[in-house]
Amino acid sequence: MAVTVALRPCSGVSPAASGTTYRRPAAAFVGWQALAPARLRLSSPAVRVPRAASSAAVEDGSSSTTDTVPTPKVIIDQDSDPDATIVEITLGDRLGDLLDTMNALKNLGLNVVKASVCLDSTGKHIKLAITKLSTGRKIADPELLEAVRLTIINNMIQYHPEASSQLALGATFGPEPPTEQVDVDIATHIDIYDDGPDRSLLVVEAADRPGLLVDLVKIIDDINITVQSGEFDTEGLLAKAKFHVSYRGKPLIKALQQVLANSLRYFLRRPTTEEASF
DSSP string covering 84-152: SEEEEEEBTB-----HHHHHHHHTTTEEEEEEEEEEETTEEEEEEEEEETTTSS----HHHHHHHHHHH
List strands edge to edge, sheet with 73-77: 5-9, 110-120, 123-132, 85-90, 73-77, 226-235, 238-246, 200-207, 189-194
Domains of the chain: 73-173 (3.30.70.260), 184-268 (3.30.70.260)
pLDDT per position as a tens digit, 45-96: 444 555 544 433 333 444 444 457 788 999 999 999 999 999 999 987 777 6
The reported pLDDT for the residue numbered 22 is: 34
Q: What is the pLDDT of residue 122?
A: 75
What is the rounded distance in angstroms from the CA atom of residue 75 to the CA atom of residue 233? 4
What single letter denotes the amino acid at residue 87?
Answer: V
What local confidence, expressed as pLDDT, does residue 38 receive? 37
- Select from 243, 225, 223 the least CA-distant residue to 233: 243
What confidence score (pLDDT) does residue 71 get? Answer: 87
Stretches where the chain sits below pLDDT 70 are 1-67, 96-97, 271-278
C-alpha–C-alpha distance, residues 42 and 51, integer Å: 24
64 closest CA partner among 15, 123, 121, 16: 123
Distance, CA of 141 to CA of 85 (rounded, Å): 11
DSSP lists the bridge partners of residue 206 as 239
Q: If you ran DSSP here, which 8-state letter would residue 250 be given?
A: B
Please give the pLDDT value at position 274.
43
What is the H or E stretch that residue 191 is in?
strand 189-194
Q: Is 189 exposed, middle or buried (0-12, 13-18, 19+ CB in 10 A)?
A: middle
**Residue 139 and residue 130 in contact, taking contact as beta carbons nearer than 8 Å:** yes
The pLDDT assigned to 68 comes to: 73
**Residue whose C-alpha is closest to residue 264's, from 217, 227, 210:** 217
Written as one letter, the residue type at 209 is R
Contact 228, 78 (CB under 8 A): no
Taking the CA atoms of 135, 139, 140 and 143 in sequence, report the sign of the dihedral they define: positive
Buried b (16+ CB within 10 A) or exposed e, 228-252: bbbbbbbbbbbbbbbbbbbbeeebb
Predicted local confidence at residue 101, as pLDDT: 86
Residue 160's pLDDT is 87
- Pair 150, 52: CB distance under 8 Å: no
CA distance 129 to 112: 6
Q: Which residues contact 180 (CB under 8 A, 6 or more apart)?
A: 237
pLDDT digit string, tens, across residues 205-216: 999 999 999 999
